[in-house]
Structure 1
Amino acid sequence: MSIQLDFRTLSLTLVLFSLVFGLGMFAYSKEHAKFSGIKTIGAGYLLFGAGGVLLGLRHFIHDFASIVLSNTALIIAVVLIYRGLFQFIGISLRFERWMSPTLVVLLAAAMYFYSFHIPDINLRIQAFSITFAAACFIGAVGLLQHREIHNRLVAKMLIAMFILVGAFFIFRFIWSFYEIPPDDFMNAGFLSALSIIAGEFLVILSSFCTIWMASDELQDELSEIARVDPLTGIYNRRAFDECCDIEFSRALRSGTSFAIIMCDLDHFKKVNDKHGHHIGDEVLRRFAAILQDRIRQHDVVARFGGEEFILLLPNNNTEQGLQVAEQIRAKTAATRITIDGNISVTLSASFGVAHYCAGDSDWSSVLHRADNALYAAKKQGRNRVFDLATANQGLQTDLMPREQT
């Protein structure tokens, strides 16, 4: 019992799928203009639909439109789909720039030649199949060369999609040498009907994977926004807590130490009162830049709240932390900030330093000691660096709430 698939009906479903997903991609691109390539993919889908319309109208329109234009449109559609994916991911293939247009031109010439000079349905099937397969393999090669996405499931799905569809058309190309040439392409057989389904598969899966990748990127951005202080551009308290959790776990496993530095701009309230909050905001940004300039790549700096900042120094003890804090203190004290050309602000900051000890039950114990040391620094006159041992000389461990600065 042979399976019969109506070619015109399948062409109609290809048109509907392509129209829906194409318009959907254009709408998504309008709402998320930051993503490049999505409009190109959508244009590819719509061109797939146009090719399906022309195919379905075989015998109702001129053969040039239903054969040459339709098949050429389908190949250009595939090119637009993988080019859109390349743009979206950030892939650039030198050979693709000339190979894709070459494939399109060669197919159009073959379709015309085997339709009007030497009419041969089998040769048209072979020409289209090998061209479509080549286009799919270009898409797969481009994705395979982008190493950063190899471990992502969505990338593997896209690569598998292009390879499977390309393999199908290679099989169709080879099979055409053994089957009896059809009298009419609309009755060309099961494999020709399956080629329409392969096109639908390409449209559906590529759109699904594109939206998946866009959603992942948006989620990463939202996660980063939730971790970054919008004023200074450095980490916020939430991100710092996450980093400390990781570093504390590493210290427990390996026995390494880490230091925490808390710092506070001295008399910052006077800056706001005298010059206004917009000047105060600029001072905070400049101080955050000083902190970032004085730390190592794997250190963490965050805004703790208000004019307070905090640093995490992995693989550091208190002595090393004191050295870093003193360098920052000296740089801050030597910095004169000029804003709007006529406002000059001189800064100073106080620092409290503590490091992880083997008996600490969690990293907040280190934070508490650094906080106490910071209060001691401010209590002793500001613009200085203290560690807990120094802070304990003449001060109680259980300190009263800090005064407003």
Structure 2
Amino acid sequence: MSIQLDFRTLSLTLMLFSLVFGLGMFAYSREHPKFSGIKTIGTGYFLIGGGGVLLGLRHFIHDFASIVLANIAIVIGVVLIYRGLFKFIGISLRFERWLSPILVVLLAAVMYFYTFHTPDVNLRIQAFSIVFAAACFIGASGLLQHREIHNRMVARMLIAMFLLVGAFFIFRFIWSFYEIPPDDFMNAGFLSALAIIAGEFLVILSSFCTIWMSSDELQDELSDIARIDPLTGIYNRRAFDECCDIEFSRALRSGTTFAIIMCDLDHFKKINDQHGHHIGDEVLRRFAAILQDRIRQHDVVARFGGEEFVLLLPNNNTEQGLQVAEQIRATTEATQITLNDDISVTLSASFGVAHYCAGDSDWSAVLHRADNALYAAKKQGRNRVVDLTTAHQGLHTDLMPREQT
């Protein structure tokens, strides 16, 4: 049995596509409420599907519903699709706020006039085509003006989609001046059939791109969770290891050097014992903020574990690392944290500094030396900066058992 792709069949397929993808958008939005605009896109699909149903019921229902309401619903659906996309991405177009309603009102007036006062199928086709094309070009314009879309491939696909569909309806508008005017829209010809297929294309591709963008954001969020320390908001040890791998490879290729600073809050266990872990957590957050404020943009700071933190300083030698560590030490010593109006905590920290040497087989060798230097700083009385390559304490470089901090 063959399927006749007439207007009624195409209208029903448009309704089915729109209903399925609209329900999918609402279900996805319910599962991921953090994404704004997806419900708006789903509502647009429902309106396009509803317009398709009304078009397919031509001659079975009143002309106002099958012509005026049907075409208005489809155009409003397109408006809601690009408004949802704009909201999802974070685009704001001032002219769109007033232009889209004007287009809808003008279309409604033209459709009503050329349906009930001066019936003219061809003029209705021309009016719908130019308004639909304008809506598509508004969508493309917003995406073209927004240069910070995370996935440029998705952005190009959406722009191409709006431009292609808009260009098709412009062609349909121009072609309508050269073809014989139809006496009934249900027999309006091949281009009108393609117009319904273009609506299906718009629904399918826009939903695909929306899910693609949201999946990218979820993936980035999971990546951040895996790399960011949840308490302090800075990198964790895993992320620090990745950064060191990259910096060590750069040092091998170009002969540059880098410094690593390990630091440890002094007597942190006493703070936890006296004031509770919630105060200790706030102290860790404040100290992490101090570290972030004292480094360059391309430096890396991470929480190594407990009250230990580590910094990676690219293109720095030990002398420069010592200067940075001393600045942080002085800032930390001068910091007094007041919490709950009755708890005052004075901080201090110990620092160990080391830098990459040409003979190092791995960056962990630098970290090992920085860790030994940190132990030396704590052994000497804390609240100081130590570099074993320049210190003269005669300490061994092997790690010794850590004393309680």
- TM-score normalised over the length of structure 1: 0.96
Q: Give the Cα separation in 2 of the matches to 1:131 and 1:279.
A: 61
1:3-57 alpha-carbon deviations (Å, 9 max, x no partner) = 9621111111111111111121112112222111111111100100111111111
After TM superposition, the structure 1 stretch with the greater mean CA deviation from structure 2, 168-177 or 249-258, is 249-258
Alignment correspondent of 1:27: 27
- TM-score normalised over the length of structure 2: 0.96
Q: Give the Cα separation in 2 of the matches to 1:160 and 1:195.
A: 17
Q: Give the Cα separation in 2 of the matches to 1:79 and 1:345.
A: 57
Question: Match of 1:149, SS?
Answer: coil
Displacement of 1:76: 0.8
Alignment correspondent of 1:174: 174
Q: Is structure 2 residue 357 aligned with structure 1 residue 374? A: no
Alignment correspondent of 1:250: 250
Alignment correspondent of 1:52: 52
Once the two structures are superposed, the pairs formed by residues 198-237 of structure 1 within 5 Å of their partners are 198-237=198-237
Alignment correspondent of 2:262: 262
Question: Match of 1:352, SS?
Answer: strand
Q: Give the Cα separation in 1 of the matches to 2:394 and 2:358.
A: 26
Question: Match of 1:260, SS?
Answer: strand
Amino acid at match of 1:177: F
Runs of 5+ in structure 2 lacking a partner?
none
Q: Give the Cα separation in 2 of the matches to 1:290 and 1:376.
A: 23
Amino acid at match of 1:343: I
Alignment correspondent of 1:387: 387
- Shift of the 22–392 alpha-carbon distance from structure 1 to 2, 3 Å rule, reads farther
Identity %: 89
Alignment correspondent of 1:315: 315
Q: Give the Cα separation in 2 of the matches to 1:391 and 1:198.
A: 75
Alignment correspondent of 2:10: 10
Q: Is structure 2 residue 96 aligned with structure 1 residue 96? A: yes
Displacement of 1:347: 1.8
Q: Give the Cα separation in 2 of the matches to 1:172 and 1:335.
A: 71
After TM superposition, the structure 1 stretch with the greater mean CA deviation from structure 2, 249-258 or 140-149, is 249-258
Amino acid at match of 1:317: N
Displacement of 1:249: 2.2
Question: Match of 2:404, SS?
Answer: coil
Q: Give the Cα separation in 2 of the matches to 1:151 and 1:277.
A: 41
Question: Match of 1:302, SS?
Answer: strand
Alignment correspondent of 1:142: 142
Contact 2:151/2:213 (CA < 8 Å) preserved in 1?
no
Amino acid at match of 1:371: D
Q: Give the Cα separation in 2 of the matches to 1:150 and 1:349.
A: 40
1:117-162 alpha-carbon deviations (Å, 9 max, x no partner) = 2211111111111111111111111111111238611111111111
Runs of 5+ in structure 1 lacking a partner?
none
After TM superposition, the structure 1 stretch with the greater mean CA deviation from structure 2, 257-266 or 173-182, is 173-182
Q: Give the Cα separation in 1 of the matches to 2:232 and 2:147.
A: 33
Amino acid at match of 2:274: K
Contact 2:15/2:52 (CA < 8 Å) preserved in 1?
yes
Amino acid at match of 1:376: A
Displacement of 1:391: 5.0
Question: Match of 1:337, SS?
Answer: strand
Q: Is structure 2 residue 267 aligned with structure 1 residue 295? A: no
Displacement of 1:314: 1.6
Q: Give the Cα separation in 2 of the matches to 1:235 and 1:195.
A: 52
Contact 1:133/1:165 (CA < 8 Å) preserved in 2?
yes
1:170-225 alpha-carbon deviations (Å, 9 max, x no partner) = 12112212222222211211211111111011001101100110110111111111
Question: Match of 1:147, SS?
Answer: coil
After TM superposition, the structure 1 stretch with the greater mean CA deviation from structure 2, 144-153 or 54-63, is 144-153
Amino acid at match of 1:192: S
After TM superposition, the structure 1 stretch with the greater mean CA deviation from structure 2, 340-349 or 159-168, is 340-349
Q: Give the Cα separation in 2 of the matches to 1:170 and 1:89.
A: 27
Q: Give the Cα separation in 2 of the matches to 1:148 and 1:334.
A: 41
1:321-375 alpha-carbon deviations (Å, 9 max, x no partner) = 1111111111212222222222222221110001112222221111111111111
Contact 1:258/1:314 (CA < 8 Å) preserved in 2?
yes
Contact 1:350/1:378 (CA < 8 Å) preserved in 2?
yes
Displacement of 1:260: 0.7
Q: Give the Cα separation in 2 of the matches to 1:57 and 1:201.
A: 22
Question: Match of 1:148, SS?
Answer: coil
Q: Give the Cα separation in 2 of the matches to 1:131 and 1:170.
A: 9
Contact 1:257/1:355 (CA < 8 Å) preserved in 2?
yes
Displacement of 1:252: 2.4
Contact 1:144/1:150 (CA < 8 Å) preserved in 2?
no
Q: Is structure 2 residue 323 aligned with structure 1 residue 327? A: no
Q: Give the Cα separation in 1 of the matches to 2:256 and 2:141.
A: 45
Displacement of 1:73: 0.9
Contact 2:259/2:354 (CA < 8 Å) preserved in 1?
yes
Q: Give the Cα separation in 2 of the matches to 1:118 and 1:274.
A: 87
